[in-house]
Amino acid sequence: MTDPTAAAARLYSDLHSGFQLVAAVEAALPVSWLTLDLVALQRKPLPVVEEFTLRLCQQGVNTIPDIAAVLGVDNDVVQTAVAGQLSAETLDYRMVRQPEGPGVRTLRLTPAGVKAVTELETTTPQRVEQTNAFDRLQWVPAEYSKSELITRDQAKASGMVFLPSSRTHEVTAQDVTPRTLNTLFANTDKDVDPAPSRRLSASVQLDVLAVEAVTRQPRRYLPVVLLVFSALEFDEVRLSVVVDDLASDRHSDLLLQAGGADKLGITVAEPVGEPELPAHLRELRVSYETVRGLQKRADNTRPGASCTAPGDAAADDSVTARAELAALTVRSVPTFEHRELLAHALRDARRRFLLITPFVRDAVVDQDLIADLEVLLRRRGFLAHIAYGLGHPAREHDSEAINRLRKLAERYPNLTLVRLREAVPGCLIFDDTWINSSFDWLAYCGGPDRAYRREEGTLIRATDIVNNRYAEAVATLKSSLEVR
């Protein structure tokens, strides 16, 4: 599964001219999940017999016996259909005098019946109970589904940045207009979920006439991506919100009005800088600009997607760019790509995995990462080393994350876990790939201070060079090994 933060960073890294992307992080957009008492017109398709009863009335067949004869059904069946349409006020049933003989009870379409024949549906005013999301930053009803939303505890456990609400009070019926709800229902396949006593068919459509009350509104959060940009020429931090893979100018503008980076406590710190590379690797290193150019061309189509038409120039260029990127043996690694590379290592490493990183956070070292590591450790002959600390005191790490790693190391002797008291170069090595970088591999969600750094790295794919760096790193870990 594609990391939504990496996808957003790839797509919008150049969103603001004169700014550079520093970080792409998970954020929690505040939402109220409303239960609404509505007065609405219930639109539902006509049953077959009722439909043809109306159609025949339109054509002049206007008595129950005649309609039953045409349809080939009993009179009782037509009488039931007529009773339903009398309730819906689509038919008028009255005695009509005949020139000769007694009067005959005759059916006639009302104006509502004429419309029903045309639209093949009926409308009935009803009171219904409807659930709907309410975006508390935009302060409008939204089309987010309940399955997309998470609780505050879930957002906190994932290390998400909590975005503010535009207003602090609860949502009232005046904040939810019938017009807005009808627009939402028209633009989405909205499932109506009323109370059991007022449950409607799945085929029912509603035209809201009035919102009478908001009866329940638990707080929830929608996972979104927050892009953090830093100005190149002056001191300014700019934020952009990405919702459902699309940059939302409206959310971004409202976040700025609410206080932006200052409100969220977000700052951009100076990068630690990439660990020193040997001179011959620096000379071979392909620049950030060249790598980003190739990535943008490669991202025009999904990896593995086939060209939909012969001679598709964009698709052909994307395949070419992807091949050129894969062929680079020493190249720049943009900040956002570090997380993709870590996920790739945890998923695909076959022989070895070595990680040296300064901090460890609960939001990154979660149960999913532990499960991925465990899959690696079960592979025959696999070796893993994780070193953290790099001179930072124990209080700067999350204890639960450390405990998870320690328990894993106790179960698998092929995992070496080391806390380093001295500063050493950070890196990620898996199989024959080495990423030389000071990136916070196990703390990329940011610490409590929400300070982000733009750390660029270098990827090296050269077996002898990677083997030498791996041997040096393992030797450093062994010399600094503490009791786990």
**Residue 187 pLDDT level (bands cut at 50, 70, 90):** confident
What tens digit of pLDDT does each residue of 155-168 get?
A: 998 889 999 999 99
pLDDT bracket for residue 191 (50, 70, 90)? very low
If you average pLDDT over residues 250-279, what whole number do you get?
Answer: 93
First to last CA, the chain: 33
Q: How many Cα atoms are found within 13 Å in the side-chain-facing hemisphere of 288?
A: 12
pLDDT grade, residue 121 (50/70/90)? low
Quote the pLDDT of residue 224. Answer: 97
Can you name the residues that pair with 341 across neighbouring β-strands? none
Is the pLDDT higher at 46 or at 442?
442
Q: 117: pLDDT confidence band, cut at 50, 70 and 90?
A: confident
Task: Assign 199 a pLDDT band (cuts: 50, 70, 90).
Answer: very low
Give the pLDDT confidence score for residue 238 in this predicted structure.
95
Contact 185, 157 (CB under 8 A): no
d(CA 10, CA 4): 10
Mean pLDDT of the 129-134 span: 93
221-230, pLDDT tens digit by residue? 999 999 999 9
Q: Report the pLDDT averaged over residues 125-147.
A: 92
DSSP annotation string for 366-426: SHHHHHHHHHHHTSTT-EEEEEE-TT--GGGS-HHHHHHHHHHHHH-TTEEEEE-SS----
Query: Average pLDDT of 137-161?
Result: 94
- For 274, which DSSP code? P
Question: Which residue, among 29, 26, 10, 24, has the nearest Cα to 230 in the 3D structure?
Answer: 24
Q: Over pLDDT 90: what percentage of the chain?
A: 61
**What is the pLDDT averaged over residues 454-467?**
95
User: Is the predicted pLDDT of residue 309 greater than 80, yes or no?
Assistant: no
Least confident among 25-39, 87-101, 292-306, 401-415: 292-306
DSSP 8-state class, residue 442: B
pLDDT at 87: 87
- Predicted local distance difference test score (pLDDT) of residue 470: 96
Is 285's pLDDT higher than 90?
yes
114: tokens are 């004429």
- Residue 82 token pair: 């007529």
- Give the pTM: 0.75
> Mean pLDDT, to the nearest integer, of 81-85?
90
416-432 pLDDT, tens digit each: 999 888 888 999 999 99
pLDDT for the residue numbered 205: 66
Confidence at 446, pLDDT banded by 50, 70, 90: low
Local confidence band at 313 (pLDDT 50, 70, 90 cut-offs): confident
Average the pLDDT over 441-458 and give the result. 84
Q: Does pLDDT of 204 surpass 60? A: no
